[in-house]
Amino acid sequence: MTERMMPLAAIEQLCLRALTSAGASQDNAAAVARSTMLAERDGIRSHGLLYVPIYAEHVRCGKVDGKALPVVSQPRPGAVVVDAATGFAHPAINAGWDRFIAAARQNGVAAMTVFNSYNCGVLGHHAERIAEDGLLGLCTTHAPASIAPPGGRVPVIGTNPFALGVPDEAGGIAFVLDQSASVVAKSEILLRSRKGRPIEPGWAIDEHGAATLDPAAALKGSMLPAGGHKGFGVGLLVEILAACLSGSVLSKDASPFSDAMGGPPRTGHCFIAFDTLAFSTTFSHHVASLLGAIAAQADARLPGQGRKAARKRTEREGVMVDSDLAERIEALCR
Protein backbone atom coordinates (compact mmCIF):
# COMPACT_ATOMS: atom_id res chain seq x y z
CA MET A 1 0.00 0.00 0.00
CA THR A 2 1.36 3.41 -0.96
CA GLU A 3 0.56 6.54 1.00
CA ARG A 4 0.85 10.24 0.47
CA MET A 5 0.80 13.21 2.82
CA MET A 6 -2.24 15.49 2.69
CA PRO A 7 -2.82 18.71 4.66
CA LEU A 8 -6.00 18.78 6.72
CA ALA A 9 -7.48 21.54 4.56
CA ALA A 10 -6.97 19.40 1.45
CA ILE A 11 -8.74 16.46 3.10
CA GLU A 12 -11.72 18.65 3.93
CA GLN A 13 -11.87 20.04 0.39
CA LEU A 14 -11.61 16.58 -1.17
CA CYS A 15 -14.55 15.34 0.88
CA LEU A 16 -16.56 18.48 0.10
CA ARG A 17 -16.02 18.06 -3.65
CA ALA A 18 -16.91 14.37 -3.58
CA LEU A 19 -20.18 14.95 -1.74
CA THR A 20 -21.32 17.92 -3.82
CA SER A 21 -20.47 15.95 -6.97
CA ALA A 22 -22.68 13.15 -5.65
CA GLY A 23 -25.56 15.60 -5.27
CA ALA A 24 -25.34 16.95 -1.71
CA SER A 25 -25.99 20.64 -1.10
CA GLN A 26 -23.01 22.84 -0.29
CA ASP A 27 -24.02 23.37 3.34
CA ASN A 28 -24.74 19.70 4.02
CA ALA A 29 -21.54 18.56 2.33
CA ALA A 30 -19.49 21.15 4.24
CA ALA A 31 -20.73 19.87 7.61
CA VAL A 32 -19.82 16.28 6.75
CA ALA A 33 -16.49 17.30 5.21
CA ARG A 34 -15.49 19.09 8.40
CA SER A 35 -16.39 16.04 10.50
CA THR A 36 -14.32 13.83 8.18
CA MET A 37 -11.33 16.15 8.45
CA LEU A 38 -11.60 16.23 12.26
CA ALA A 39 -11.60 12.42 12.37
CA GLU A 40 -8.43 12.27 10.27
CA ARG A 41 -6.91 15.06 12.38
CA ASP A 42 -7.39 13.04 15.56
CA GLY A 43 -6.11 9.78 14.05
CA ILE A 44 -9.55 8.14 13.95
CA ARG A 45 -9.11 6.72 10.46
CA SER A 46 -12.15 4.45 10.72
CA HIS A 47 -14.41 7.56 10.68
CA GLY A 48 -12.40 9.59 8.17
CA LEU A 49 -11.83 9.34 4.43
CA LEU A 50 -12.66 5.62 4.52
CA TYR A 51 -16.33 6.56 4.72
CA VAL A 52 -16.40 9.19 1.97
CA PRO A 53 -17.09 6.72 -0.91
CA ILE A 54 -19.92 5.26 1.19
CA TYR A 55 -21.35 8.71 1.93
CA ALA A 56 -21.25 9.58 -1.78
CA GLU A 57 -22.88 6.28 -2.76
CA HIS A 58 -25.64 6.82 -0.19
CA VAL A 59 -26.39 10.29 -1.54
CA ARG A 60 -26.57 8.94 -5.09
CA CYS A 61 -28.85 6.01 -4.25
CA GLY A 62 -31.10 8.03 -1.93
CA LYS A 63 -30.16 6.32 1.31
CA VAL A 64 -29.25 9.82 2.49
CA ASP A 65 -31.02 12.93 1.21
CA GLY A 66 -28.05 15.14 0.42
CA LYS A 67 -30.28 18.19 0.05
CA ALA A 68 -32.32 17.61 3.22
CA LEU A 69 -33.47 20.65 5.23
CA PRO A 70 -33.62 19.80 8.95
CA VAL A 71 -36.67 20.93 10.93
CA VAL A 72 -36.08 22.24 14.47
CA SER A 73 -38.74 22.51 17.20
CA GLN A 74 -38.68 23.30 20.92
CA PRO A 75 -41.73 21.70 22.55
CA ARG A 76 -40.55 22.57 26.09
CA PRO A 77 -38.01 25.13 27.38
CA GLY A 78 -35.37 22.45 27.95
CA ALA A 79 -36.20 20.19 25.00
CA VAL A 80 -34.96 20.74 21.45
CA VAL A 81 -36.05 18.26 18.76
CA VAL A 82 -34.55 18.04 15.28
CA ASP A 83 -35.97 16.08 12.35
CA ALA A 84 -32.96 15.35 10.11
CA ALA A 85 -35.37 14.55 7.26
CA THR A 86 -33.29 11.46 6.29
CA GLY A 87 -30.30 13.70 5.64
CA PHE A 88 -26.83 13.74 7.17
CA ALA A 89 -26.62 14.05 10.95
CA HIS A 90 -24.13 16.93 11.03
CA PRO A 91 -26.26 19.66 9.41
CA ALA A 92 -29.22 18.54 11.55
CA ILE A 93 -27.14 18.85 14.72
CA ASN A 94 -25.90 22.26 13.58
CA ALA A 95 -29.46 23.39 12.91
CA GLY A 96 -30.55 22.82 16.51
CA TRP A 97 -27.29 23.69 18.23
CA ASP A 98 -27.80 27.36 19.15
CA ARG A 99 -31.26 26.71 20.61
CA PHE A 100 -29.89 23.70 22.52
CA ILE A 101 -27.00 25.60 24.12
CA ALA A 102 -29.19 28.62 24.90
CA ALA A 103 -31.76 26.35 26.56
CA ALA A 104 -29.09 24.72 28.74
CA ARG A 105 -27.84 28.11 29.90
CA GLN A 106 -31.34 29.37 30.63
CA ASN A 107 -32.64 26.24 32.38
CA GLY A 108 -29.45 24.80 33.84
CA VAL A 109 -29.88 21.66 31.76
CA ALA A 110 -31.30 20.88 28.32
CA ALA A 111 -31.47 17.99 25.89
CA MET A 112 -31.52 17.85 22.10
CA THR A 113 -32.71 14.78 20.27
CA VAL A 114 -32.29 14.15 16.54
CA PHE A 115 -34.33 11.60 14.58
CA ASN A 116 -34.65 10.45 10.95
CA SER A 117 -30.87 10.75 10.92
CA TYR A 118 -27.66 8.99 9.92
CA ASN A 119 -24.14 8.31 11.21
CA CYS A 120 -22.95 11.34 13.23
CA GLY A 121 -19.22 10.61 12.84
CA VAL A 122 -16.97 10.82 15.92
CA LEU A 123 -19.36 11.28 18.83
CA GLY A 124 -16.64 12.75 21.03
CA HIS A 125 -16.39 15.77 18.75
CA HIS A 126 -19.98 16.74 19.63
CA ALA A 127 -19.27 16.32 23.36
CA GLU A 128 -16.12 18.41 22.92
CA ARG A 129 -18.18 21.12 21.23
CA ILE A 130 -20.50 21.31 24.26
CA ALA A 131 -17.49 21.61 26.57
CA GLU A 132 -16.09 24.37 24.35
CA ASP A 133 -19.33 26.24 25.06
CA GLY A 134 -18.51 25.98 28.78
CA LEU A 135 -21.06 23.25 29.54
CA LEU A 136 -20.84 19.64 30.66
CA GLY A 137 -21.97 17.47 27.75
CA LEU A 138 -23.25 13.90 27.59
CA CYS A 139 -23.86 12.59 24.06
CA THR A 140 -25.31 9.30 22.82
CA THR A 141 -25.94 7.83 19.39
CA HIS A 142 -27.08 4.42 18.24
CA ALA A 143 -26.30 2.43 15.12
CA PRO A 144 -27.67 -0.51 13.11
CA ALA A 145 -27.64 -3.69 15.20
CA SER A 146 -24.28 -5.41 15.54
CA ILE A 147 -24.19 -6.69 19.16
CA ALA A 148 -26.15 -9.71 20.38
CA PRO A 149 -27.32 -9.95 24.00
CA PRO A 150 -25.24 -12.10 26.37
CA GLY A 151 -26.03 -15.72 25.59
CA GLY A 152 -27.57 -14.82 22.23
CA ARG A 153 -26.34 -14.73 18.65
CA VAL A 154 -28.67 -12.27 16.91
CA PRO A 155 -27.61 -8.60 17.16
CA VAL A 156 -30.23 -6.29 18.67
CA ILE A 157 -28.29 -3.12 19.51
CA GLY A 158 -25.56 -1.20 17.70
CA THR A 159 -22.09 -0.34 18.93
CA ASN A 160 -23.95 2.52 20.63
CA PRO A 161 -21.25 4.90 21.93
CA PHE A 162 -21.54 7.59 24.55
CA ALA A 163 -19.26 10.59 24.98
CA LEU A 164 -18.65 12.97 27.86
CA GLY A 165 -17.19 16.44 27.30
CA VAL A 166 -15.92 18.09 30.49
CA PRO A 167 -15.06 21.81 30.65
CA ASP A 168 -12.21 23.04 32.84
CA GLU A 169 -11.98 26.07 35.15
CA ALA A 170 -10.01 28.13 32.61
CA GLY A 171 -12.62 28.12 29.85
CA GLY A 172 -11.08 25.15 28.04
CA ILE A 173 -11.66 21.41 27.96
CA ALA A 174 -10.58 19.17 30.84
CA PHE A 175 -11.06 15.94 28.87
CA VAL A 176 -13.35 14.07 26.50
CA LEU A 177 -14.40 10.47 27.12
CA ASP A 178 -15.66 8.67 24.01
CA GLN A 179 -16.31 4.94 24.02
CA SER A 180 -18.65 2.43 22.46
CA ALA A 181 -20.54 -0.48 23.97
CA SER A 182 -18.46 -2.84 21.83
CA VAL A 183 -14.81 -3.76 22.30
CA VAL A 184 -13.99 -1.71 19.16
CA ALA A 185 -15.95 0.39 16.68
CA LYS A 186 -17.57 -1.62 13.89
CA SER A 187 -15.82 0.63 11.38
CA GLU A 188 -12.50 -0.79 12.64
CA ILE A 189 -13.62 -4.29 11.59
CA LEU A 190 -14.79 -2.88 8.26
CA LEU A 191 -11.37 -1.29 7.81
CA ARG A 192 -9.62 -4.60 8.57
CA SER A 193 -11.91 -6.37 6.12
CA ARG A 194 -11.01 -3.99 3.30
CA LYS A 195 -7.31 -4.29 4.02
CA GLY A 196 -7.44 -8.09 4.28
CA ARG A 197 -6.17 -8.07 7.86
CA PRO A 198 -7.46 -10.33 10.66
CA ILE A 199 -9.24 -8.83 13.65
CA GLU A 200 -8.04 -9.31 17.23
CA PRO A 201 -9.19 -12.10 19.56
CA GLY A 202 -12.22 -11.16 21.63
CA TRP A 203 -13.63 -8.65 19.15
CA ALA A 204 -16.43 -10.69 17.59
CA ILE A 205 -18.19 -14.00 17.02
CA ASP A 206 -19.44 -15.46 13.75
CA GLU A 207 -23.10 -16.13 12.90
CA HIS A 208 -22.89 -19.51 14.67
CA GLY A 209 -21.64 -17.98 17.93
CA ALA A 210 -18.04 -19.15 17.54
CA ALA A 211 -15.06 -16.86 18.15
CA THR A 212 -13.49 -15.59 14.91
CA LEU A 213 -10.52 -13.59 13.66
CA ASP A 214 -12.03 -13.25 10.17
CA PRO A 215 -13.47 -9.74 9.70
CA ALA A 216 -15.92 -10.97 7.02
CA ALA A 217 -17.29 -13.61 9.40
CA ALA A 218 -17.46 -11.01 12.17
CA LEU A 219 -19.53 -8.68 9.98
CA LYS A 220 -22.02 -11.53 9.42
CA GLY A 221 -22.06 -12.42 13.11
CA SER A 222 -21.96 -10.22 16.19
CA MET A 223 -19.47 -7.87 17.76
CA LEU A 224 -18.75 -8.51 21.42
CA PRO A 225 -19.64 -5.94 24.07
CA ALA A 226 -16.83 -4.45 26.14
CA GLY A 227 -16.95 -5.96 29.62
CA GLY A 228 -19.44 -8.66 28.70
CA HIS A 229 -22.93 -8.12 30.11
CA LYS A 230 -21.92 -4.73 31.56
CA GLY A 231 -20.99 -3.43 28.13
CA PHE A 232 -24.29 -4.67 26.76
CA GLY A 233 -25.99 -2.76 29.56
CA VAL A 234 -24.23 0.44 28.47
CA GLY A 235 -25.45 -0.21 24.93
CA LEU A 236 -29.03 -0.59 26.19
CA LEU A 237 -28.77 2.71 28.08
CA VAL A 238 -27.67 4.44 24.88
CA GLU A 239 -30.44 2.72 22.89
CA ILE A 240 -33.07 4.09 25.29
CA LEU A 241 -31.77 7.67 25.00
CA ALA A 242 -30.68 7.85 21.36
CA ALA A 243 -33.35 5.65 19.77
CA CYS A 244 -36.37 5.34 22.06
CA LEU A 245 -36.36 8.88 23.48
CA SER A 246 -35.70 10.49 20.09
CA GLY A 247 -38.43 8.45 18.39
CA SER A 248 -36.00 6.90 15.92
CA VAL A 249 -35.96 3.47 14.35
CA LEU A 250 -34.50 0.92 16.77
CA SER A 251 -31.04 -0.46 16.03
CA LYS A 252 -32.51 -3.87 15.27
CA ASP A 253 -34.69 -2.32 12.52
CA ALA A 254 -32.21 0.20 11.06
CA SER A 255 -30.60 -0.38 7.67
CA PRO A 256 -26.78 -0.65 7.66
CA PHE A 257 -24.46 2.35 7.40
CA SER A 258 -21.96 0.33 5.37
CA ASP A 259 -23.90 -0.49 2.19
CA ALA A 260 -26.74 0.74 -0.03
CA MET A 261 -29.35 -1.79 1.11
CA GLY A 262 -32.53 -0.96 2.96
CA GLY A 263 -33.24 2.72 2.47
CA PRO A 264 -32.49 5.50 4.99
CA PRO A 265 -31.39 4.12 8.39
CA ARG A 266 -33.42 6.77 10.30
CA THR A 267 -31.27 6.49 13.43
CA GLY A 268 -31.09 9.05 16.23
CA HIS A 269 -28.96 10.92 18.74
CA CYS A 270 -29.46 12.45 22.17
CA PHE A 271 -27.28 15.27 23.53
CA ILE A 272 -27.58 16.60 27.09
CA ALA A 273 -25.86 19.77 28.31
CA PHE A 274 -25.50 20.94 31.93
CA ASP A 275 -24.58 24.41 33.10
CA THR A 276 -22.54 23.24 36.08
CA LEU A 277 -22.96 26.53 37.97
CA ALA A 278 -26.69 25.80 38.23
CA PHE A 279 -25.84 22.80 40.40
CA SER A 280 -22.58 23.50 42.19
CA THR A 281 -19.86 26.14 42.53
CA THR A 282 -17.24 23.45 43.20
CA PHE A 283 -17.52 21.48 39.94
CA SER A 284 -14.33 22.80 38.32
CA HIS A 285 -12.37 22.44 41.58
CA HIS A 286 -13.42 18.81 41.94
CA VAL A 287 -12.60 18.03 38.30
CA ALA A 288 -9.15 19.59 38.68
CA SER A 289 -8.54 17.58 41.86
CA LEU A 290 -9.66 14.36 40.21
CA LEU A 291 -7.47 14.88 37.15
CA GLY A 292 -4.55 15.83 39.38
CA ALA A 293 -4.81 12.50 41.18
CA ILE A 294 -4.64 10.73 37.82
CA ALA A 295 -1.77 12.83 36.47
CA ALA A 296 0.26 12.22 39.64
CA GLN A 297 0.62 8.55 38.66
CA ALA A 298 3.54 8.13 36.29
CA ASP A 299 2.00 5.77 33.75
CA ALA A 300 -1.66 6.74 34.12
CA ARG A 301 -3.46 8.13 31.08
CA LEU A 302 -6.57 10.23 30.71
CA PRO A 303 -9.16 9.32 28.07
CA GLY A 304 -8.47 11.10 24.80
CA GLN A 305 -4.72 11.59 25.26
CA GLY A 306 -3.93 9.57 22.14
CA ARG A 307 -6.29 11.72 20.07
CA LYS A 308 -4.73 14.92 21.44
CA ALA A 309 -1.25 13.72 20.51
CA ALA A 310 -2.40 12.80 16.99
CA ARG A 311 -4.08 16.21 16.67
CA LYS A 312 -0.87 18.09 17.44
CA ARG A 313 1.08 16.02 14.92
CA THR A 314 -1.41 16.19 12.05
CA GLU A 315 -2.07 19.91 12.46
CA ARG A 316 1.67 20.39 12.01
CA GLU A 317 2.49 17.72 9.43
CA GLY A 318 -0.75 16.66 7.72
CA VAL A 319 -2.08 13.12 7.39
CA MET A 320 -0.68 10.09 5.60
CA VAL A 321 -3.49 8.90 3.33
CA ASP A 322 -3.85 5.65 1.39
CA SER A 323 -3.14 6.69 -2.21
CA ASP A 324 -5.68 4.24 -3.65
CA LEU A 325 -8.41 5.59 -1.36
CA ALA A 326 -7.56 9.20 -2.24
CA GLU A 327 -7.66 8.36 -5.96
CA ARG A 328 -11.06 6.67 -5.57
CA ILE A 329 -12.43 9.78 -3.90
CA GLU A 330 -10.87 12.04 -6.52
CA ALA A 331 -12.58 9.94 -9.18
CA LEU A 332 -15.91 10.61 -7.48
CA CYS A 333 -15.25 14.35 -7.86
CA ARG A 334 -14.94 13.90 -11.64
| Residue 25 falls in the annotated catalytic set | no
| Residue 188 falls in the annotated catalytic set | yes
Model pLDDT, residue 259: 84
Model pLDDT, residue 186: 80
pLDDT one-digit tens code per residue, 302-334: 999 999 999 999 999 999 999 999 999 999 998
The top-level CATH class assigned to 73-182+225-302 is alpha beta
| Residue-averaged pLDDT of the chain | 95
| Residue 248 falls in the annotated catalytic set | no
Residue from 180, 188, 239, 251 carrying the catalytic annotation: 188
pLDDT one-digit tens code per residue, 260-269: 889 999 999 9
Enumerate residues 6+ apart whose C-beta is below 8 A from 51: 36, 119, 187
Residue from 47, 58, 126, 142 carrying the catalytic annotation: 47
Model pLDDT, residue 7: 96
Residue from 21, 46, 255, 284 carrying the catalytic annotation: 46
Q: Would you say the pTM of this structure is higher than 0.85?
A: yes
Q: How far apart are CA 182 and CA 294, in angstroms?
A: 25
Domain ranges of the chain: 1-61+304-334, 73-182+225-302
pLDDT one-digit tens code per residue, 101-130: 999 999 999 999 999 999 999 999 999 999
pLDDT one-digit tens code per residue, 9-49: 999 999 999 999 999 999 999 999 999 999 999 999 889 99
- Proportion of the chain above pLDDT 70, given as a percent: 100
CATH of 1-61+304-334, one of 2.160.20.10, 3.30.1370.110, 1.10.1530.10, 2.60.120.700: 1.10.1530.10
